[in-house]
Structure 1
Amino acid sequence: MKALSALGYICRAAPQEAEWIRAARTEWRTQVSPSTRDESGYWVMVADASTGEEHDLDAHRLAMAWIYGDVVHHDPERRQEGDAFGLRDRFRAAVPLVAWAMVATIELLNFIRVLNEAGMLQLRQEVFGEQVALKSTVWEEPAEMYYAPVGAQPPSLANSPMPEGWLPLSKTTDLSIFRHLIAGQLLHAERSPSMTQLPSPEEIEAARTPAGGWKRDQLAAWGVPWPPPKGWKDELAERWEAARQDGAPPPLI
C-alpha cells in the first residue's frame, strides 16, 4: 500500500496511470485487509457436539492464522483464534491469498518497470538487476576451522591472528573433545581411541560413595559436568543400551 500511495502521488497528473493505481489500491485493500466478512470470500462455522462450543471465522482471518501463526510463528493470538478449525482449513484459506499476492506483486513490478522506461520514474537500474535470490542452494567453500575452550577470546577481525588458545581443526584432531552429555557427539569420527567407555547402569550404581553420591572426578571421567544435570544417569544408561544393541563398544559421546 505504501508503494501504491507513492505511485499515486507521482502519477497524479497522468489520468490513465492514476486510474490503474486507484483500482490496484482498492483490490489490494480488499484482498489484504477486507472490511467485511463477505469481502473475505467465505467463512467457516464449527461446533463441538459434546461441549456445545461454537466457533465462527472468515477466510481472511483463517489465512492470517496460517501465515502468522503456523508459518511465521509470530502471532500466537491469531494462531489460537484459528486453532479450532484445524490446519487444513487454515491452509486452504491461505493458499488463494498468498497466490493472489504473488501475482499482484509481479503485476505491480511490471507496472513500475513501464513507468521507469517511460521516464515517469527515475529509478537506478541496479534495483532491477540486484540479486535477491540464490539460484543454487548447494555449494562448497574451502575454509579453515579453529576451536578453543569455552570462554576463550574470539578474534577481533576476520584477518587478524588467532588469539592464544585457538587451535586448527585437522584430520588428526581428537574429535572426542567435542562432546556434551545431553547434545551428544558434536563432531563424529568412525572410531577414536581416546574415547572413554560408557558405564553400564550397574557400574554407575557400584561407583556410589558411602554417602550415596558420586565423586566429581568419576563423573568427569564419564563426561558428566559438575554439578551433574538432572537426568544424567538415564542419559548414560540410554546411550549404553543403544551402543550395546548396535554391537559396538559403548563409547562416551
Structure 2
Amino acid sequence: MAGLKTEWTKTQDGRSTVRAYKVVTEDGAISDVELGFAYIYGDVVHADPKRIAQTEEHGVVERYKAAVPLVAQLMINTIATLNVIKLFVERGHLDLPGEPFERTVTVTATEFVTPIQNFVHTSAVNPNPHDLNAVVGTLFTYEDAIEMLGWQADGPEDAATG
C-alpha cells in the first residue's frame, strides 16, 4: 500500500513533483508533471487556459512529451489499484456490492459496422413539422439516390461536403 501511495503521489495534479525530469530555463524550472497536466487540462480539454499561459514558453510539443509518460503512469497506477482491490475482495477484507468483477466491461472489437436499411423517411409539406403522421416512407435504391442528387456513379466531387 505504501508503494502504491507513493506512485499516486508522484502523479498528483497541483504539485511540482518531478516524476522523470525538470525543464530549466532562465525564467525558472517546471516539472514534467506540471507540463503533463498543462497538456491534459489546457491543450486537450481546453478547460484551463491559465496552465497554457504558465507553460507557453515550453510549447505544446514539450507539454505533450511530458503528458505521454504521465498518462501511462496514471494507467499503471489505476491497474495496480484495481489489483489491490481485487486482492482485498478475494481475501474477504472488502465486500463490494453488485459483483463488480463479474460484469463484462471490456470491448475487444476494433471494427463496428452499422447496417442501414434501404429506406428513407421524407416529410410531406406540412405546416406542423411535429405531426408525425405526415412522414412518408419511400423505398429507393442507391442508384436512385445518385440520380436524385445529380451525382456521378462515383459520388460527389467533394464527398465530405457534398
1:124 deviates by 4.4
Structure 2: give runs of 5+ residues left out of the alignment: none
Q: What amino acid sits opposite 2:71 in the alignment?
A: V
Q: Which residue in 1 is equivalent to 2:22?
A: 43
**Cα distance in structure 1, aligned partners of 2:110 and 2:92:** 37
Q: Which residue in 1 is equivalent to 2:120?
A: 146
Indicate which of 69, 94, 98 corresponds to 1:121: 94
Q: Greater Rg, structure 1 or structure 2?
A: 1
Q: Which residue in 2 is equivalent to 1:88?
A: 61
Residue by residue, what CA displacement relative to the aligned partner does 1:86-145 show, whole Å, maximum 9, x if unpaired?
222112211222121111111111111111111122224642233334211313233335
Residue by residue, what CA displacement relative to the aligned partner does 1:34-57 show, whole Å, maximum 9, x if unpaired?
64x3x324432446xxxxxx4643
**Cα distance in structure 2, aligned partners of 1:113 and 1:84:** 44
Q: What amino acid sits opposite 1:119 in the alignment?
A: G
**Cα distance in structure 2, aligned partners of 1:61 and 1:100:** 14
Residue by residue, what CA displacement relative to the aligned partner does 1:206-233 show, whole Å, maximum 9, x if unpaired?
xxxxxxxxxxxxxxxxxxxxxxxxxxxx
Contact 1:55 1:84 in 2 (8 A): no
Contact 1:152 1:165 in 2 (8 A): no
SS at the partner of 1:78?
helix
Contact 2:39 2:64 in 1 (8 A): yes
SS at the partner of 1:32?
coil
Q: What amino acid sits opposite 1:123 in the alignment?
A: L
Residue by residue, what CA displacement relative to the aligned partner does 1:14-69 show, whole Å, maximum 9, x if unpaired?
xxxxxx2x55334313321364x3x324432446xxxxxx4643222210111122
Normalised TM-score (structure 2): 0.68
Task: State yes or no: 1:78 paired with 2:55.
Answer: no
Q: What amino acid sits opposite 1:164 in the alignment?
A: A
Q: Which residue in 1 is equivalent to 2:137?
A: 167
Residues 92 and 146 (structure 1), Cα distance of their counterparts in 2 relative to 1, 3 Å cut: same
Normalised TM-score (structure 1): 0.47
Q: What amino acid sits opposite 1:78 in the alignment?
A: R
Contact 1:70 1:79 in 2 (8 A): yes
SS at the partner of 2:11?
helix
SS at the partner of 2:42?
helix
**Cα distance in structure 2, aligned partners of 1:166 and 1:118:** 62
**Cα distance in structure 1, aligned partners of 2:32 and 2:139:** 54
Q: Quick one: higher RCO (CA 8 Å, sep 6+), 1 or 2?
A: 2
**Cα distance in structure 2, aligned partners of 1:124 and 1:57:** 43
Q: Which residue in 1 is equivalent to 2:10?
A: 30
Residues 67 and 189 (structure 1), Cα distance of their counterparts in 2 relative to 1, 3 Å cut: farther
User: Matched residue pairs, number?
Assistant: 152
**Cα distance in structure 2, aligned partners of 1:55 and 1:190:** 62
Q: Which residue in 1 is equivalent to 2:74?
A: 101
